[in-house]
Amino acid sequence: MKRRAVLIILGIVVLASGSPSVAEVEAENAAVEASTLFEVVAELDHSLNEIAQLLERLVKNQHAEILLRRIDLGVRRLAPLEDELRRAERRVIDSKSDIHRFETMIADVEDAISEEVLEGVDPAESGNRRMKEEVERELRVRIEELESLERRAQDLEIDLADGRREIEVLDDVLKNALESVTDR
């Protein structure tokens, strides 16, 4: 019994010395858990905000990459048009030269016909009239070809101007996109 009395006294001393009760310990643990939980939630919130910012930058970077690809594609589309325009311009120059040559030939044949008439020779017999008709026919063909080439060159210039404007617009959009990525 003595032993039991010692344990009871020891229990009373422990209780009297201000030891926390089980309820107090549980309340303190709950408070610690709540503050720890609050810290964890705050860290998660911060992490999620960082992830959102990274995803936003990623989307902007992808947008910029798409714009770069569109600009590259636009430039690649313009190259064949520029080549075709150069060829058309060379052909226009060649056609104008041919037309000038035919006009000179017609003038020479007309001079020859005039001389024949003055000399009393029938131009139909000398073949100069027939030659003049053939050269005039060829001249008309060349003039039609020249007109067609000039229309095609104009169309190509318009297409190139449109393509260049589109590239300029895309370039401006790309610059803005890159500025918004670097602003963050």
Q: Give the domain ranges of the chain.
A: 64-183
Contact, 131 vs 109, CB < 8 A?
yes
Which amino acid does the sequence have at 146? Answer: L
pLDDT at 21 over 70: no
Query: pLDDT value at position 6?
Result: 53
Q: Around Cβ 157, how many Cβ atoms within 10 Å?
A: 14
Query: pLDDT value at position 179?
Result: 79
Q: How far is CA 101 from CA 30, 135, 179, in A?
A: 105, 10, 59
Q: Could you tell me the end-to-end alpha-carbon distance of the chain, in angstroms, rounded to an integer?
A: 78
Mean pLDDT of the chain: 83
Cα–Cα distance, 135 to 126 (Å, whole number): 15
Helix, strand and coil percent figures for the chain, each rounded to 5: 95, 0, 5
pLDDT at 14 over 70: no
Confidence of residue 24 (pLDDT cuts 50, 70, 90): low
Write down the residue that tokens 């318009």 correspond to.
Answer: 158
pLDDT at 181 over 70: no
Query: pLDDT value at position 162?
Result: 95
Confidence of residue 61 (pLDDT cuts 50, 70, 90): confident
